[in-house]
Amino acid sequence: MLNVCIECGMYRADKEVDVENGTITCPECDHVHPFNFMPLMIVSGPSAAGKSTVCHALTGVFKEAVLLDGDLLWRSEFNSPENSYREFYETWLRMAKNIGQSGRPVVLFNAGAIPDNVIECVEARYFSGLHFLALVCKGEELARRLKARPEWRGSGQDPFVTEQLRFNQWLIDNGQTDGRNMALIDSSADDLAGTLQKVSDWMQACISQ
């Protein structure tokens, strides 16, 4: 538990960070602790754009990072759009920074993990860089994929399809504006192999920076 100081025992998520020297400092007692700063890569996108498919396909294949599906930690109490799902993303960033101490960065696949919901988190300070990618899709193809899913998922219902199409277009229009700097990959422009290669190339480039 890196938020608990090994010197004074106090819990502080807001430690002072020194990326250049690889240390974090407890604001309670000024204890300096070595820290392995890793990049954090985040893949967003509407439902059916390919996030889970890409995550599953590259897990264990792309060995330079730990790939994780954001739904693994989702609980109903995290559903707080009024504060940009803050506790959910604080929890994920805390998990990712601890995993990073093993020497491998994390790639988080989650629909709502856009810069607006992540960069203000206290835990965001613990990464050498935050890198965002949005998987998007042509509107008609996204609607087709959603309606082709099993009925139990409810993905083909008109309100859900409309909302995913809206989010998809928002990412296309806004993902690279207002300092968001999200890379965009159109998963309907290639077959699965082509999309996997583009995502792999993006991840490798982020790690190499």
pLDDT at residue 153, rounded to an integer = 85
Averaged confidence pLDDT in the chain: 96
Domain segments of the chain: what residues? 1-35, 37-208
Please list the residues that pair with 138 across neighbouring strands: none
CA distance 3 to 156: 43
If pLDDT is split at 50, 70 and 90, which confidence band does 154 have? confident
CA–centroid distance for 14 within its chain: 20
CATH of 37-208, one of 3.40.50.720, 3.30.70.580, 3.90.1150.10, 3.40.50.300: 3.40.50.300
> What is the pTM assigned to this prediction?
0.95
SS3 content of the chain, % helix, strand, coil (to 5): 45, 20, 40
Name the token pair of 159: 């309100």
- Span 45-55, pLDDT tens digits: 999 999 999 99
CA distance 50 to 197: 13
Instruction: Please list the alpha-helical segments (H only) found in 101-150.
Output: 115-118, 139-148
What residues have CB less than 8 Å from 18, skipping those under 6 apart? 24, 25
Mean pLDDT of 182-205: 97
- Span 21-41, pLDDT tens digits: 999 999 999 999 999 999 999
If pLDDT is split at 50, 70 and 90, which confidence band does 187 have? very high
